[in-house]
């Protein structure tokens, strides 16, 4: 899941970036409202972790502005201001969730997966297609009850395809989902990941639509 983290504490920002990457996310990190605004205009994110107290303004003001511009990206507020009035103000401004500091990283990851799942209209935490089952919470994959070991990027590609069965996702969208700002992208990286997925999952799961992109099957059986 490609996410944006907006936090001005450098130690916490580094910890969030490393921890959420280990949990299967692809995080970009900024420390101000201005940088967050620029990032949100330049890239598509599946969720945002947003601190309220930032050096150049309020995260709530940034949130409200994004909602006025009809940006529906799920946003989780992360802040030391955890009074009931603060939570109400954040939620009324358009936040999808609110987590006070200090917090547990596993809970933050679970909340991010939950708001992303709600945003995509899914009720179940797991994804299933023709015997393939993936669980974003544990980064586990199986086919016909046999476990399959995928890399983080292979898992992300498979998750994106299985969230929209029948939809074709182009190479640029897959690249943006699996690589952050600081990571170089080789020209054939997506093709290599797709090749590895097919080798591990077996035939008939990941399909190529020549000149457009990749998909899994048609309508969900």
pLDDT, one tens digit for every residue, the chain (221 residues): 899 999 999 999 999 999 999 998 999 999 999 999 999 988 889 999 999 999 999 999 999 999 999 999 999 998 887 678 888 888 899 999 999 888 999 999 999 999 988 877 777 889 998 899 999 889 999 999 999 999 999 999 999 999 888 899 999 899 888 887 766 667 788 999 999 999 999 888 999 998 899 999 754 43
Q: Are 109 and 25 in contact (CB under 8 A)?
A: yes
Q: Contact, 36 vs 6, CB < 8 A?
A: yes
Q: Which of 159, 77, 169, 174 is nearest to 122 (CA)?
A: 159
Domains in the chain with CATH codes = 2-119 (3.40.50.2300), 127-216 (1.10.10.10)
DSSP H/E element including 156: helix 152-163
| pLDDT computed for residue 204 by the predictor | 84
For residues 94 and 67, the answer to whether their CB atoms sit within 8 Å is yes
DSSP assignments along 82-124, one per residue: -SHHHHHHHHHTT-SEEEESS--HHHHHHHHHHHHHHHTT---
Residues sharing a CB contact under 8 Å with residue 26, sequence separation 6 or more, in sequence order = 1, 2, 3, 156, 177, 178, 179, 180
pTM, rounded to two decimals: 0.81
Helices (H) and strands (E) in the chain, counts: 8, 13
User: How far apart are alpha carbons 203 and 183 in whole angstroms?
Assistant: 30
Q: What is the pLDDT of residue 195?
A: 94
Q: Is 8 helix (H, G, I), strand (E, B) or coil?
A: coil
């Amino acid at each position: 899941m490609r996410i944006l983290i907006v936090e001005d504490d450098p130690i916490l920002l580094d910890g969030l970036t490393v921890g959420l990457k280990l949990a299967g996310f692809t995080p970009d990190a900024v420390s101000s409202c201005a940088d967050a605004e620029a990032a949100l205009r330049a890239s598509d994110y599946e969720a945002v972790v947003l601190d309220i107290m930032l050096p150049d303004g309020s995260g709530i003001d940034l949130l409200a502005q994004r909602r006025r511009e009809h940006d529906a990206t799920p946003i989780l507020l992360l802040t030391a201001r955890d009074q009931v009035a603060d939570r109400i103000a954040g939620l009324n401004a358009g936040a999808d969730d609110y987590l006070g500091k200090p917090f547990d990283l596993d809970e933050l990851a679970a909340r991010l997966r939950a708001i992303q799942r709600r945003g995509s209209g899914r009720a179940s935490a797991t994804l299933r297609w023709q015997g393939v089952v993936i669980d974003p919470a544990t980064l586990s994959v199986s086919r016909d009850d046999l476990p399959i070991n995928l890399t983080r990027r292979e898992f992300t590609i498979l998750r994106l395809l299985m969230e929209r069965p029948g939809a074709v996702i182009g190479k640029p969208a897959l690249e943006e989902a699996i690589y952050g700002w600081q990571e170089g992208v080789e020209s054939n990286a997506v093709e290599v990941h797709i090749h590895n997925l097919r080798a591990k999952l077996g035939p008939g799961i990941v399909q190529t639509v020549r000149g457009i992109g990749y998909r899994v099957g048609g309508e969900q059986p």
